[in-house]
């Protein structure tokens, strides 16, 4: 899969959080399998992993984990994954993020409120 990622943008933010068309196809499929209807195309998405979803990561690592899992389990889509979609009010509190994907968490997944606080604190 081709990733779109440039670390130097005009506003100082990483473009790595913006989802391109190819990435959106995969994320839309994963969301669909979880019973979520959402189009990730051109959305700003944050990724978290680890115990309780406490470690910030990126889309490259997420898709790499998906590829590793598919090698052993061809029907599997992604590591244990939870998708959080934000409404307009939540998006403004989360510094413009449209969604968060938490994966590989062995503990309980974090609450939406906790993720919004993390995004607000995490600045480039």
Domain extent listing, the chain: 44-121
Distance separating alpha carbons of residues 121 and 26, to the nearest angstrom:
28
- Between CA 83 and CA 34 the distance in angstroms is 8
Tens-digit pLDDT profile for the chain (124 aa)? 444 454 433 433 345 788 999 899 989 998 998 899 999 999 999 999 888 888 888 898 888 888 888 777 766 666 678 899 999 999 999 989 999 999 887 767 788 888 888 887 765 4
């Amino acid at each position: 899969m081709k990733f779109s990622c440039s670390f130097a943008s005009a506003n100082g933010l990483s473009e790595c959080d913006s989802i391109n068309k190819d990435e959106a196809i995969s994320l839309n499929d994963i969301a669909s399998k979880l019973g979520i209807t959402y189009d990730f195309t051109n959305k700003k998405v944050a990724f978290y992993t680890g115990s309780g979803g406490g470690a910030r990561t990126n889309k490259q690592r997420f898709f790499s984990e998906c590829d590793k899992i598919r090698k052993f389990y061809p029907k599997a889509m992604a590591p244990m994954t939870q998708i959080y979609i934000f409404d307009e009010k939540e998006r403004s509190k989360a510094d413009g993020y449209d969604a968060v994907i938490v994966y590989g968490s062995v503990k309980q997944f974090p609450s939406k409120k906790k993720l919004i606080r993390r995004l607000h604190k995490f600045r480039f």
